Amino acid sequence: MKLNKILKNAFLVMVACLALSACATKKSTGQMQGDVYTGTDTVEYLASGVPDRVFFATNESVLTTASRDTLRKQAAWLRKNSKVTIVLEGHADERGTREYNLALGERRANAAKDYLMTYGISSDRISVLSYGKERPVDSGSNPLAWSKNRRSVTVKAN
């Protein structure tokens, strides 16, 4: 009986430990999935519930599930506000050559543009501007800072 209790306690302690360690790992990667930024530190809003930016993996221009979700919200908002025109500003992190990053930023902004267009936003309302690595939001030299900088930001143009 006593042994049972000890085992039970040990079990509880183990569960607690696991929960804690799970918490700890979650905390360290809490703002990134793979190397795509999933936090909200730098995000601004076009309207309530409409985030202005999407994030990318290193060297990638593929939209993640979260990015597509954000862009659908932007598309819905743009449909409601049909006079608004936008600039999609594409960016890269500092870990690449300047010229390649200009092309990569352009490719990322266009991935966002294409998705908005499939949700009914006319290309006449969208222009694209790549900044490459020239305009980071986070000046850090670490993977989290770089993940915040790999982005396409939707900016109201009028």
One symbol per residue from 4 to 43: x for binding another protein (CB under 8 A), - otherwise; what is it?
A: ----------------------------------------
Residue 112 CB, nearest approach to another protein (Å): 10
Residue 110 CB, nearest approach to another protein (Å): 3
Among positions 104, 116, 126, 153, the unique one binding another protein when judged by CB under 8 A: 104
Contacts of 47 (CB under 8 A, 6+ apart): 77
**How much is the CA Rg of the chain, to the nearest whole Å?**
21
60 binds another protein (CB under 8 A): no
Burial class (CB in 10 A: 0-12, 13-18, 19+), 115: buried
Among positions 43, 66, 76, 94, the unique one binding another protein when judged by CB under 8 A: 94
103 binds another protein (CB under 8 A): yes
User: Between vectors from CA 54 to CA 53 and to CA 56, what angle results, nearest 5°?
Assistant: 145
142 binds another protein (CB under 8 A): yes
Among positions 72, 84, 110, 119, the unique one binding another protein when judged by CB under 8 A: 110
Separate counts of helices (H) and strands (E) for the chain: 4, 8
83: tokens are 């006079």
Contacts of 45 (CB under 8 A, 6+ apart): 51, 52
Residue 141 CB, nearest approach to another protein (Å): 4
Which residues of this protein are in contact with another protein, per CB under 8 A? Answer: 59, 61, 94-100, 102-104, 106-107, 109-111, 114, 128-130, 134-142, 145
